[in-house]
Structure 1
């Protein structure tokens, strides 16, 4: 698959590399697993003197042997003696960078915590002592989001405040997914695009897997995801189990309940029979897996809160694969397919709402976009988009079938909220699969 999008990130990485010719630059790159961090960095620096170190969970001396070979091959410089510790190797490279510019990418950087946790403080000392005279472009990349942010953004950590740039790589946007489908499946339907968005959420690796398998229709996409030996079946566990650690059972249960529609803390705790506030807080603020959703214009401390899963694929995985893992483990994938067929229309309707919210955000017309509901989930409005400068407000209803859209009912549901927008120009609109 060809390289798509990432124009702004590539431009930023180019500027960072240019700045490193004058003084050392440290950049850390984060993003969920499979989002395309490594591909982005290799694409950006493929034509430069670029060292690539992958930190595997192995003995430090063995890692350094691999890294030294990379240095010899790429920089074409002799290394006398043995560099058996990363401290010695990094110190050597900082010295080399005083006389020549080069880029160093360290992938899965957080794994040094397992290999040798003192590496972080060693690097801090060497960086502080040599960065003024070095011309190294140092990029530190990791896929365990919570650990990477802690390493660089926790004031108690050695590398806090050392990075000059942070890149948080996000999923492909809707426009890019459309471009990819157009290239490989020009006559795609709205149903096909929704399924492509629903499963991949714009995560580069999932997009690549479907493209490789030529799975572009709703039917072929679902078949690929739940097929025998599918890489997707264990993917949710693979992505999150290292993030969550030994408490992963509780976290998985909470996320599974949210995926199944138990979106309030009260509902979650009534089923789990335990306090979940700490778990939910970490899921939101440390792991970035869920997010709080409040009615638009609600106060920050409002108790009217729902939780949603941020990632499309993880939402699908917990809703269907994890929830029915006994069928998966028994090898009864036909049963899982029947469950998906039964529930897909309702489930995809909620994802369609998310799709249109993302599209409205991409238009850059509004300063506030969200959903709305009143007490006991009364008068729910799928999308409310506000432009306070132009004094306009948009109310939208989203249905898979356009024939089910009732603008009159939408006007009734918005009556109370509309009191907050006196003097605003009001628009009512319906979105369906025909508008995808």
Structure 2
């Protein structure tokens, strides 16, 4: 296999950069407060820095876990260097610093980006109400382009969307930074691997899910196929081994153990509430609700066309890497603790066909969604998991429906059986043009129409 020279250029994010440029333009006439969220490692900081790299007056501040006084001293130096301004009097509190910056913004326009903004809650919670008062009193006539960025979704949501919080309704724009889409992952791999195939694309999709930092790490390790990726993950001092814990413990807090147990079961195909409760021996409704709505880690999956109150509910972990981490790394943490990486790799290889079969279904559903050609994409099953259909894609304008069976091995696809399973479903779609198709690894680079 031939690898191209390893250069990580800045991929995708064109629409996000355009949006940030538009917001900056608006700030020249009206002060802007943009809230930017997204999971850790997704590339928020790189995006902000890319958007301001040609801006000589932009100020980037990172809120580290240190005292307010030390932070202010650090911030003050950066601001003085970037804006060539000197404060009147001593500054030891962030409220003083922010008030001074708002005054400056009435003289000169500039961008102020504050990264890991939610950390202020643990440093000094009163900063939020102080910022609100300063913002409300000074935004008229200000030309500030304020970007507030955070990785802990639940805290950022609380700060800006809870009506009892001081900064509620103050944001003028909100950006949720998502993983790279499938076509971008394919582009990245084509740049790195000559004649990249499903043997590269599929493991890259499974292990990174399009998260920028994971993509970058695998590229720097020249890990472009299943074997080399597993070798990179399961080695001494690998970033990936503690990654799930590092990403989620700040989000979930001290009570993360029960959440982790639930997530491990979901990743291991115990996807219904009944199954999970029977194993854990207690009610988990509150935990599932928080994992879904407060933390945005899991999502409900219902059969396509299911009624809102349908009880045919399965749960899945939204993030591909976390799905793998809970299925194979956290579940086998005892072996990993003693450095028995080969043992865990054997388990991965043993179970990989079953695991990757589900991930291939997820891949094609995502690919159909991202194609922009369909109004609805999902899967289907009847009571007792009967008549399962892996993928259904509908174009309501053109009255067209695609039903697909997804298999790792193309030879195992049975379209006659697919037609039989869809009979009950299609009774309500007599006006639709129906297409039955099989999708396998070889179809991963197809274009959906």
Counterpart of 2:35 in structure 1 is 28
Report the TM-score, using the length of structure 2 for normalisation. Answer: 0.96
1:365 and 2:373 matched:
yes
1:160 and 2:168 matched:
yes
1:420 Cα deviation after fit = 2.1
Structure 1 unaligned blocks of 5 or more: none
Counterpart of 1:188 in structure 2 is 196
Counterpart of 2:332 in structure 1 is 324
Per-residue deviation, residues 312-344 of structure 1 (Å, max 9, x unmatched)? 000000000000111101111110010001011
Q: 1:130 aligns with which of 124, 138, 153?
A: 138
Contact conserved, 1:188 with 1:216, CA < 8 A, in 2? no
1:246 Cα deviation after fit = 1.5
Q: 2:268 aligns with which of 260, 276, 301?
A: 260
Contact conserved, 2:87 with 2:100, CA < 8 A, in 1? no
1:12 and 2:4 matched:
no
1:301 Cα deviation after fit = 0.8
Per-residue deviation, residues 351-386 of structure 1 (Å, max 9, x unmatched)? 111111111112211111101001111111000111
| Counterpart mapping for 1:284-299 below 5 A | 284-299=292-307
1:83 and 2:94 matched:
no
Q: Which moved more, 1:233-242 or 1:71-80?
A: 71-80
Query: What is the alpha-carbon distance in structure 2 between the residues aligned to residue 133 and residue 189 of structure 1?
Result: 55
1:41 and 2:48 matched:
yes
Query: What is the alpha-carbon distance in structure 1 between the residues aligned to residue 358 and residue 31 of structure 2?
Result: 47
| Counterpart mapping for 1:165-314 below 5 A | 165-314=173-322
Query: What is the alpha-carbon distance in structure 2 between the residues aligned to residue 101 and residue 169 of structure 1?
Result: 25
Report the TM-score, using the length of structure 1 for normalisation. Answer: 0.99
Contact conserved, 1:392 with 1:426, CA < 8 A, in 2? yes
1:133 Cα deviation after fit = 1.0
Q: Which moved more, 1:109-118 or 1:41-50?
A: 41-50
Q: 2:358 aligns with which of 330, 335, 350?
A: 350
1:269 counterpart SS class: helix
Runs of 4+ in 1 over 6 A off after TM superposition: none
Query: What is the alpha-carbon distance in structure 2 between the residues aligned to residue 214 and residue 82 of structure 1?
Result: 51
